[in-house]
Structure 1
Amino acid sequence: MPTQTLLYIILAGILALILALFQYKYKVKSMSKLYMLFAFLRFISIFLILLLLINPKFEQLKLTEEKPKLLVAIDNSSSTTQLEQDKNAKQVLQTIQSHTALNTKFDIEYFKFGKTLNALDTLTFTDKQTDVAAALDGLKSIYKNTIAPTILVTDGNQTLGSDYAYTSYNQPVYPIILGDTTTYIDLSITQLNVNKYAYLKNKFPVETVLVYNGKAPVNTTFSITSGTQTIFSKNITFSATHNSEILQFTLPASHVGVTTYKAILQPLESEKNKVNNVKHFAVEVIDEKMNIAIVSSFYHPDLGTLKKSIESNEQRAVSILNPNEVNPKLNDFNLLILYQPDNQFKSIFEAIKADNKNAFIISGAQTDWFFLNDQSDYYEHDITSQTEMYQGVFNSNYTTFIVDNLDFNSFPPLQSAFGELSFYGPHEILLYKKIGNITTNQPLLATFETQGRREAVLLGENIWQWRAQSYLNKKSFNTFDNFISKVVQYLSSTKRKTRLVVDFESFYDGTNNVIIRAQFFNKNYEFDGREPLKIKLVNRETKAVTELPFVLKNNNYQVDLSQLPAAEYNFTVSATNENISQSGSFTILEYNVEQQFLNANSGKLNQLAQKTEGASYFIADYKSLLKDLLSNQKYVTIQKSSKTTQGLIDWKYMLGIIVFCLSLEWFLRKYNGLT
Structure 2
Amino acid sequence: MQTETVLYIILSGIIALLLALFQYLKKEKSLSKKQILFSFLRFVSYFGTLLLIINPKFKSQYVFTEKPNLVIAVDNTSSVKHLKQDQKALELVTHLKTNKKLQEKFNLAVYTFDNDLKSSDSINFKGTQTHITNAFKNLNQIYKHSVSPTILITDGNATYGIDYASKPIQYNQPVYPIILGDTISYTDLKIQQLNVNKYAYLKNKFPVEAILVYEGHASVSSKFQIIQKNQVIYSEVLHFTKLKNSHVLNFTLPTTNVGVTNLKAEIIPLENEKNKTNNLKNFAIEVIDQKSKIALVSDILHPDIGAFKKSIERNELRSVSILHPNETTFNYDDFQLIIIYQPNFKFNKIYQKLKATKRNVFIIIGAKTDLGFINKNTSNYQIEITNQFENYQAELNEINSPFQVNDIDFESYPPLYSHYGKTQFQVPFQTILNKTINGISLSQPLLATFEDLDHKEAVLFGENIWQWRAQSFLNTNNFNAFDDFIGKLIQYLASNKKRSRLTVDYESFYEGSNSVIIKAEYFDKNYVFDDSGALQITVTNRSTQTKKTFPLLLKGNHYEVDLSSLKPSSYNFTIKTTGENIAKSGRFEILAYNVEQQFLNADVTRLNQVATNTTGKSYFVDDTSTLISDLLNDNRFTPIQKSKKETMPLIDWKYLLAIIVLSLSAEWFLRKYNGLI
TM-score where L is the length of structure 1:
0.92
Q: Any conservation in 1 of the 2:401–2:431 contact (CA below 8 Å)?
A: no
Residue range with higher mean Cα deviation, 271-280 or 200-209: 271-280
Q: Tell me how far 1:663 sits from its aligned partner.
A: 5.7
In 1, Cα distance between the equivalents of 2:21 and 2:101?
63
Q: Tell me how far 1:276 sits from its aligned partner.
A: 1.1
**Aligned partner letter, 1:160:** Y
Q: Deviations over 1:118-154 (max 9, x none)?
A: 1114112111111112111111111211111111111
Residue range with higher mean Cα deviation, 409-418 or 195-204: 409-418
Q: Any conservation in 2 of the 1:20–1:42 contact (CA below 8 Å)?
A: no
**Aligned partner letter, 1:91:** E
3-state DSSP class of the match of 2:472?
A: helix
3-state DSSP class of the match of 2:636?
A: coil
Q: Which residue of 2 aligns with 1:85?
A: 85
**Aligned partner letter, 2:555:** K
Q: Any conservation in 1 of the 2:382–2:424 contact (CA below 8 Å)?
A: yes
Q: Any conservation in 1 of the 2:365–2:461 contact (CA below 8 Å)?
A: yes
Q: Any conservation in 2 of the 1:12–1:47 contact (CA below 8 Å)?
A: no
Q: Deviations over 1:409-453 (max 9, x none)?
A: 122222222222221111111111222332212111111112321
In 1, Cα distance between the equivalents of 2:535 and 2:502?
10
Q: Which residue of 2 aligns with 1:72?
A: 72
In 2, Cα distance between the equivalents of 1:102 and 1:414?
53
Q: Tell me how far 1:4 sits from its aligned partner.
A: 5.3
Q: Tell me how far 1:16 sits from its aligned partner.
A: 8.6
2:655 counterpart of 1:652 = yes
Q: Which runs of 5+ in 1 are unaligned?
A: none
What does 1:191-340 align with in structure 2 at a 5 Å threshold?
191-325=193-327, 328-340=330-342
Q: Which residue of 1 aligns with 2:637?
A: 635
Q: Structure 1's 17 and 459: CA in aligned 2 closer, same or farther, altered over 3 A? A: closer
2:62 counterpart of 1:62 = yes
Q: Tell me how far 1:366 sits from its aligned partner.
A: 1.8
Q: Which residue of 2 aligns with 1:516?
A: 518
In 2, Cα distance between the equivalents of 1:552 and 1:661?
59
In 2, Cα distance between the equivalents of 1:199 and 1:632?
62
Q: Tell me how far 1:328 sits from its aligned partner.
A: 4.6
Q: Tell me how far 1:383 sits from its aligned partner.
A: 2.5
Q: Which residue of 2 aligns with 1:379?
A: 381
Q: Tell me how far 1:58 sits from its aligned partner.
A: 4.5
Q: Which residue of 2 aligns with 1:368?
A: 370
In 1, Cα distance between the equivalents of 2:650 and 2:481?
61
Q: Structure 1's 559 and 666: CA in aligned 2 closer, same or farther, altered over 3 A? A: closer
In 2, Cα distance between the equivalents of 1:582 and 1:21?
90
Q: Any conservation in 2 of the 1:45–1:662 contact (CA below 8 Å)?
A: no
In 2, Cα distance between the equivalents of 1:13 and 1:479?
69
Q: Tell me how far 1:27 sits from its aligned partner.
A: 7.3
Q: Deviations over 1:16-46 (max 9, x none)?
A: 999879989x9799x9xxx7x7688568646
Q: Structure 1's 7 and 178: CA in aligned 2 closer, same or farther, altered over 3 A? A: same
TM-score where L is the length of structure 2:
0.92
3-state DSSP class of the match of 2:60?
A: strand
Q: Any conservation in 1 of the 2:536–2:552 contact (CA below 8 Å)?
A: yes
Q: Structure 1's 439 and 525: CA in aligned 2 closer, same or farther, altered over 3 A? A: closer
2:617 counterpart of 1:615 = yes
Q: Structure 1's 147 and 40: CA in aligned 2 closer, same or farther, altered over 3 A? A: farther
**Aligned partner letter, 1:106:** F
In 1, Cα distance between the equivalents of 2:347 and 2:254?
42
What does 1:106-121 align with in structure 2 at a 5 Å threshold?
106-121=106-121
Q: Structure 1's 46 and 439: CA in aligned 2 closer, same or farther, altered over 3 A? A: closer
Instruction: Let me know the Cα RMSD of the aligned residues.
Output: 3.0
Residue range with higher mean Cα deviation, 469-478 or 103-112: 469-478
Q: Tell me how far 1:62 sits from its aligned partner.
A: 2.0
**Aligned partner letter, 2:655:** K
Q: Any conservation in 2 of the 1:152–1:176 contact (CA below 8 Å)?
A: yes
3-state DSSP class of the match of 1:451?
A: coil
In 1, Cα distance between the equivalents of 2:672 and 2:442?
73
**Aligned partner letter, 1:393:** E
Q: Deviations over 1:238-265 (max 9, x none)?
A: 0011100001111110001101111011
Equivalent of 1:602 in 590, 601, 604: 604
**Aligned partner letter, 1:198:** A
Q: Structure 1's 327 and 76: CA in aligned 2 closer, same or farther, altered over 3 A? A: same
In 2, Cα distance between the equivalents of 1:599 and 1:339?
54
Q: Deviations over 1:291-310 (max 9, x none)?
A: 11111123222222222221
Q: Which residue of 2 aligns with 1:483?
A: 485
Q: Any conservation in 2 of the 1:42–1:661 contact (CA below 8 Å)?
A: no
Q: Any conservation in 1 of the 2:45–2:664 contact (CA below 8 Å)?
A: no
Q: Any conservation in 2 of the 1:44–1:658 contact (CA below 8 Å)?
A: no
In 1, Cα distance between the equivalents of 2:571 and 2:251?
30
Q: Which residue of 1 aligns with 2:506?
A: 504
In 2, Cα distance between the equivalents of 1:334 and 1:174?
57
Q: Which runs of 5+ in 2 are unaligned?
A: none
